[in-house]
């Protein structure tokens, strides 16, 4: 029994990881199938960070390039802070962050996906389970496909 328990535990953990990867892959495909090449969305980045006054960001993307990145009040983001936001500035970049996290960069990842477009609407990443202030939450709202 002592030999079986670690194997059983490994199988359960693998199954949980595979479920997250499967859900991620299914929603990435839904996003690709939607074909939204020009869109706008609001992004709230929740973390132990000094730039919360800018949240939520209003981001417009066309052909996977950021057209505009503004603070909640419509002002252009300070170039000093812009680099902190750019890793999440497109839906594809957010998918990439979720994928890296699910594939081992984080101890725990939870994600809820938009039912129509498949993008990650709510993501919580805990990079180190027992560490303090390393968690990141990404919330996408007001998504709009543009012509």
Mean of pLDDT values over 104-116: 93
129 three-class SS:
coil
33-92 pLDDT tens trace: 999 999 999 999 988 776 677 899 999 999 999 999 998 888 888 787 788 889 999 999
Q: What is the pLDDT of residues 113-143, one digit of tens each?
A: 999 999 999 999 998 888 777 789 999 999 9
**Looking at residue 109, what is its pLDDT?**
93
pLDDT at 144: 98
**Per-state percent for the chain, helix, strand, coil, to nearest 5:** 40, 30, 30
Q: For residue 20, is pLDDT > 80?
A: no
Say yes or no to pLDDT of 11 above 60: no
- Integer Cα distance of 47 and 137 in angstroms: 6
Domain ranges of the chain: 4-145
Average pLDDT over residues 93-113: 93
Six token digits for residue 3: 């030999």
pLDDT of 147 reads 96
Give the Cα separation of 143 and 131 in Å (integer). 32
Task: Give 16's pLDDT tier (boundaries 50, 70, 90).
Answer: very low
From CA 84, how far away is CA 54, in angstroms rounded? 12
**pLDDT the model gives residue 15:** 34
Residue 14: pLDDT over 80:
no
Looking up tokens 């170039």 gives 79
């Amino acid at each position: 029994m002592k030999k079986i328990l670690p194997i059983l535990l490994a199988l359960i953990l693998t199954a949980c990881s595979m479920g997250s990867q499967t859900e991620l892959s299914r929603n990435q495909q839904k996003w690709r199938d939607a074909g939204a090449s020009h869109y706008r969305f609001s992004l709230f980045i929740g973390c132990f960070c000094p730039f919360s006054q800018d949240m939520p960001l209003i981001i417009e993307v066309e052909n996977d390039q950021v057209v505009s990145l503004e603070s909640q009040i419509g002002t252009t983001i300070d170039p000093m802070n812009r680099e902190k936001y750019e890793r999440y500035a497109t839906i594809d970049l957010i998918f990439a962050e979720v994928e890296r996290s699910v594939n081992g960069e984080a101890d725990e990842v939870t994600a809820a996906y938009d039912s129509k477009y498949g993008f990650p609407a709510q993501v919580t990443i805990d990079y180190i389970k027992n560490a303090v202030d390393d968690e990141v939450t990404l919330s996408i709202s007001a998504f709009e496909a543009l012509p």
